[in-house]
Amino acid sequence: MSGERKRNLKNFFQLLMRYKWHHIAAMIFSVLNSVLVLLQPIFLMKIIDEGITNLDMASLLKNILYFIGIIIVQNICEYFTTYIYSIIGKRFILDLRIRVIKHVESMSGEFFTNTDASEIFTIFDDDIDNIEQLASKMIFSVISDICIAIIMCIYLGHLQLELFTAILVIQPIMFIVQKKINRNSNNLAFEARSTLGEIIKQVQEYLMSMIQYIKLNAKNVFWRRYKKSSDEYVHKCIGLDMAYCKSGVLGSLLSGSVACIIFGYGGYKVILGELTLGGLITFNQYSQKLFQPVVSIAQNSTQLKRILVSVDRVFNLLNQENEIIPIEPICDLPIRRGDIYFKKVSFHYVEGKEVFHALECHFMSCSFNGIVGKSGEGKTTFINLLFRLWDIQSGEIEIDNINVKNYNINKLRENIDIVSQEVFLLNDTIKNNLTLLNENISMEKVVTIAKKVGLYDMILDSPKGFDTVVGDNGIKLSGGQKQRLSIARVLLREAQIVIFDEATSSLDNAAQENIIDLIFSLLKNRTVIIIAHRLSAVKRCDNIIVINNGRVTESGNHNELMEMQGEYYALYNAEI
Ligand SMILES: Nc1ncnc2c1ncn2[C@@H]1O[C@H](COP(=O)(O)OP(=O)(O)OP(=O)(O)O)[C@@H](O)[C@H]1O
Ligand SMILES: [Mg+2]
């Protein structure tokens, strides 16, 4: 077993230990259940040999009552075993799912850039589902199956050694054949599932982006891919059905031949008087019960391999280290002033492609700041670093004289509000998109801000006003309305640092002017950063920096920068 597998299994069992009392209770019921199952054929033998064969009515009645009693208690045990294992399994996977999401949400931008979201979803959904069996009854059922098989072997050998030897020869053949068929059908089932997963992914993407597909005239792309995957899926499913059928046929052939041996050879022994009729029937019952654990061990062993792969995938994800963790001493205080200092900051996403080189800049608390620069110069990166989605390679970023690495990451992010280039809206009501379910924001305030950003009339015209659902990522809204909504969202909140990254790019000049007025009048006591291609959006800022080739090449207010007649001047003149 590899070191990684050992570590993952250790983590798995550590988590499972939280349910140890449940496991102990389930084991007690399960052992009792197995013992009672083993007792049933013995009482059947007594019913036949002591009651029916001896024509003893009292003994027949007594043993029948025992037999019924055993069946009732055994089923009660079975009920509780299933109940407890169900609790363990469901709670365990719920726990694990929460862990996976919490872990993923704490990861860095690097992780999100390089990890496929559908891969995480498969781990969250499929792999954790697979693990459920291992967390609940599987481990113990393998142990109990082996124990039952051993006890039955001893008893059958004691009852009729020769007959038992004959059965014993057939068992390994049964075991090997069953295992082979199971492996084959498990592989086919796995392949069919992943093809189905692929189909679902394609359909999901198609349905979510239907309008884009239609506009791009790319419906054929979907249908071609869909047809190919569907054909593959049908082919695999037919193979799987045939494998199941083969397994059934072989199983019944084998059990039929075992029955022939038992009743043929066993019947001969009864005729010779070396075995009672009850003994023969008991023998037959036990040998059938002996097959069950053999088949289930064979099934479990192939299934186990697949489950272990899932254990690896889940725990490898959970063990993936997050580089974005606060360093000592940790500052748990919120950001009070919002004084931002980038000191000789160098940063690259990809080795050798530096975005910032010893970048220096200072945004004073409670000031309005602009960042300008050509596309791809690193304006959004600036925010990513301040928000600590990525960590810088050298230099320091300080907020209120504290390194961002020392802040409790949640506190840091709670105090920085961003209106991004890509507007993100929940498929929820307008009101919930504005408040993000923060109950402290009053409806009165929501209405006031909606009026100020110019959304109120549109909301009143909507079928359910503030309770109108905006659709998937705001599909029912125009680009400008979406931007207004995301601006209103931060104006309703109280973060000390507020950043607008191309927040007004979808608005016309007059609308942009109106929003900029609003920002300047409502956010006076915060540190505001405005990133914009249109310089009219930053013109009124106290301080504007120009980023070029990874450095701040110019800084000052609009008039100062115009006087310099440098890059800002050139950009401004190019615009008018
Ligand atoms: N996650 C990432 N991984 C690798 N490189 C990235 C990543 N994000 C951005 N980059 C690169 O970093 C550089 C700066 O990107 P950034 O998004 O900060 O530019 P920008 O100034 O905001 O541009 P725009 O004005 O077009 O929004 C670009 O060259 C971009 O290709
Ligand atoms: Mg950008």
pLDDT, one tens digit per residue, over 249-281 is 877 887 788 888 889 988 998 999 888 888 888
- Distance CA(479)–CA(487), nearest Å, equals 12
Q: Tens digits of per-residue pLDDT, 310-339?
A: 899 999 999 998 878 888 888 888 889 999
- Minimum-distance ligand 1 atom for the alpha carbon of 110: 1
Residue reference for tokens 């003893």: 56
| pLDDT tops 90 at residue 228 | yes
Residue 264: half-sphere exposure toward Cβ, Cα within 13 Å: 8
Taking residues 409-418, report their average pLDDT. Answer: 91
Taking residues 237-260, report their average pLDDT. Answer: 83
Residue 302 has a pLDDT of 67
Tokens of 413: 């992010």
Nearest Cα to 374, choosing from 564, 535, 537?
A: 535
Q: Tens digits of per-residue pLDDT, 529-544?
A: 999 888 888 999 999 9
Q: Tens digits of per-residue pLDDT, 75-97?
A: 999 999 989 999 999 999 999 99
pLDDT class for 217, splitting at 50, 70, 90?
confident
Q: Tens digits of per-residue pLDDT, 189-203?
A: 878 888 888 888 889
pLDDT class for 358, splitting at 50, 70, 90?
very high
Residue 299 has a pLDDT of 67
- Every domain of the chain and the residues it spans: 1-160, 161-274, 340-575
DSSP string, 324-388: ----SSPB-SPPSS--EEEEEEEEEEETTEEEEEEEEEEE-TT-EEEEE--TTSSHHHHHHHHTT
Residue 561 has a pLDDT of 94
pLDDT class for 385, splitting at 50, 70, 90?
very high
Residue 529 has a pLDDT of 96
Task: Compute, in angstroms, the gap from residue 380 CA to the centroid of ligand 2.
Answer: 4
Q: Count of CB atoms within 10 A of residue 85's CB?
A: 24
Site to probe by mutation for ligand 1, drawn from 359, 380, 420 as the one with most ligand atoms within 8 Å of Cβ, is 380
* Contact status, residue 546 vs residue 553, Cβ threshold 8 Å: yes
Site to probe by mutation for ligand 1, drawn from 108, 348, 377 as the one with most ligand atoms within 8 Å of Cβ, is 377
Residue 547 has a pLDDT of 94
Taking residues 399-424, report their average pLDDT. Answer: 91
- Minimum-distance ligand 1 atom for the alpha carbon of 382: 18
Task: Name which residue sits closest to atom 2 of ligand 1, judged by CA.
Answer: 349
Q: What is the CA radius of gyration of the chain?
A: 35
- Distance CA(276)–CA(107), nearest Å, equals 70
Residue 98 has a pLDDT of 95
Residue 298 has a pLDDT of 66
Task: Name which residue sits closest to atom 27 of ligand 1, judged by CA.
Answer: 375
Task: Name which residue sits closest to atom 14 of ligand 1, judged by CA.
Answer: 378
Least distant ligand from the CA of 351: 1
Tokens of 421: 């280039």
Residue 282 has a pLDDT of 86
| pLDDT tops 90 at residue 173 | no
Least distant ligand from the CA of 418: 2
DSSP string, 532-571: -SSGGGTTT-SEEEEEETTEEEEEE-HHHHHHHTSHHHHH
Enclosing H/E stretch for 500: strand 497-501
- Minimum-distance ligand 1 atom for the alpha carbon of 547: 21
Residue 234 has a pLDDT of 95
Least distant ligand from the CA of 355: 1
Q: At what angle do helices 139-159 and 20-46 cross, to 10 degrees?
A: 20
pLDDT class for 430, splitting at 50, 70, 90?
very high
Taking residues 412-426, report their average pLDDT. Answer: 89
The architecture of the domain spanning 340-575 is: 3-Layer(aba) Sandwich (3.40)
Q: Tens digits of per-residue pLDDT, 279-318?
A: 888 888 888 777 777 667 766 776 787 788 889 999 999 9
Residue reference for tokens 């640092």: 497
| pLDDT tops 90 at residue 65 | yes
- Residue-wise over 495-506: b if at least 16 C-beta within 10 A, else e? bbbbbbbbbbbb
Task: Compute, in angstroms, the gap from residue 12 CA to the centroid of ligand 2.
Answer: 42
Least distant ligand from the CA of 373: 1
Cβ neighbourhood burial of 345 (10 Å; 0-12, 13-18, 19+): buried
- Does 326 sit behind a cis peptide bond, omega within 30 degrees of 0 on the bond before it? no
- Distance CA(152)–CA(507), nearest Å, equals 80
- Minimum-distance ligand 1 atom for the alpha carbon of 502: 27
- What residues flank ligand 1, with Cβ below 6 Å? 113, 349-350, 355, 373, 375-381, 421
- Minimum-distance ligand 1 atom for the alpha carbon of 381: 18
Enclosing H/E stretch for 488: helix 479-491
Task: Compute, in angstroms, the gap from residue 378 CA to the centroid of ligand 1.
Answer: 6
Q: Tens digits of per-residue pLDDT, 2-51?
A: 788 899 999 999 998 899 999 899 889 988 988 898 888 888 889 999 99
Residue 77 has a pLDDT of 93
Tokens of 472: 């998937």
CATH number for 1-160 (one of 3.40.50.1980, 1.10.10.1150, 1.20.1560.10, 3.10.20.310): it is 1.20.1560.10
Q: Count of CB atoms within 10 A of residue 174's CB?
A: 21
Helix residue ranges, H only, 17-56: 20-46
Site to probe by mutation for ligand 1, drawn from 107, 345, 347, 355 as the one with most ligand atoms within 8 Å of Cβ, is 355
What residues contact residue 108 under an 8 Å CB cut-off, 6+ apart? Answer: 322, 323, 324, 389, 390, 391
Three-class secondary structure of residue 517 per DSSP: helix
Task: Compute, in angstroms, the gap from residue 375 CA to the centroid of ligand 1.
Answer: 8
Q: Name which residue leads in pLDDT, 256 or 451.
A: 451
Least distant ligand from the CA of 547: 1
Task: Compute, in angstroms, the gap from residue 501 CA to the centroid of ligand 2.
Answer: 7
Residue 321 has a pLDDT of 86
Residue 374: alpha-carbon gap to chain centroid: 38
Residue 197 has a pLDDT of 81
Residue 473 has a pLDDT of 72
Task: Compute, in angstroms, the gap from residue 380 CA to the centroid of ligand 1.
Answer: 7
Residue 376: alpha-carbon gap to chain centroid: 33
Task: Name which residue sits closest to atom 24 of ligand 1, judged by CA.
Answer: 375
Task: Compute, in angstroms, the gap from residue 149 CA to the centroid of ligand 2.
Answer: 67
Residue 478 has a pLDDT of 84
Task: Compute, in angstroms, the gap from residue 561 CA to the centroid of ligand 2.
Answer: 22
Task: Name which residue sits closest to atom 31 of ligand 1, judged by CA.
Answer: 376
Residue 155 has a pLDDT of 83
Per the prediction, the chain carries an average pLDDT of 88
